[in-house]
Structure 1
Amino acid sequence: MASDCLLTVRVLCAVLGICAGTAIASLGEGSLNALGLGLMLLAELGEALRLVLTQKLLTNLKFGVIEGQYYMAPISALWLFTASSITELPRAALGANWAHARALIHSEPQLFIASAVLGFGVNLCTFLVIKTTNSVTLKVLGTARNAGLVLFSAMWYHETITRLEALGYCISLLAFAAYNVYAIRGV
């Protein structure tokens, strides 16, 4: 009982370390926009709700991965179509844009098919990670991937990041390593 509580505290500290590293990296950005921050927080809230509901569907209700897709895909499609109708459809409906998009689809259909197949694969992998572990692990993996990608881009492609951003990303990756040790191995 006491070891479970200690494990939970260690996992919580690792997740808080990831959050702190991300916050430090964000402070190094310098061009903070209140509207952008608000939209990001709203998107994170929506993502958290989706992940919790997906976890409930897959673990509590004991649905399989394909069954989970069957129930989640329509509502996801509805929200994605609604958002794209507001943000993308007005520009796409202009004559030249629409004709260009159709020509692009007809000239390279294999790219659009590959994109759809890869998107389906990502959704299956997402559901498998949630079913096997939990939704927190999926979010932690996403944060670590983003931090690693930024650091990789800075080292190999010479993208410019500040020292504060690099420090924040390094803290996030170290906390991710601690999360793996504590949550996955149960130390």
Structure 2
Amino acid sequence: MYIIIGLGNPTAQYEGTRHNVGFDVIDRLGEKYNIAVDTKKHKAYIGKGMIDGQKVILVKPQTYMNLSGESVRELVDYYKVDAEEEVLVIYDDISLDVGQLRIRKKGSAGGHNGIKNIIAHLGTQVFPRIKVGVGEKPKNYDLADYVLGHFSKAERAQMEEGYDRATEAVRLILAGEIDAAMNQYNKKQTTV
């Protein structure tokens, strides 16, 4: 079983913001694979289903970003999964261009408070993740204001393509093809 966690903040106020791209990818996966992410459990909304024959739980933690690890820890303990093998975390990254992906098998938090909290709760930074680029913070912008801001119309179109690539990358990772996913999606995507 795979637990696929998209990071974001609860409440309508944060919908569509840069910090909520993890939720957006989970929503895309739910639509594509007909998995309703509407059961409130483990400090999250979860949905159980199948992706290409693999049992999955799609997760949108409801603890607010900086406490995401509380929900992840509960899920890992309850379902008795190996975080290093059966957890996949999807989240925003300001060091990547809008809609670009970076897939990693492990790594530091890189300044991302949601990941920092997950690492603290799991006691390891070895778990696969998909970072979805939201663009670099403009000079003189407050980081919190930037990541809690919305995309422009042009950026939204790039993000839609990024979400499609992320759902495809999830499929490869579930099939045990994380190296192939990294080779395919970690290179800079050119927009047409």
TM over 0.5: no
Which structure's relative contact order is higher, taking Cα pairs within 8 Å and 6+ residues apart? 1
Q: Which has the higher helix share?
A: 1
Q: Which has the higher strand share?
A: 2
TM class, shorter-length: under 0.3
Query: TM-score, normalization: structure 2?
Result: 0.24
Query: TM-score, normalization: structure 1?
Result: 0.25
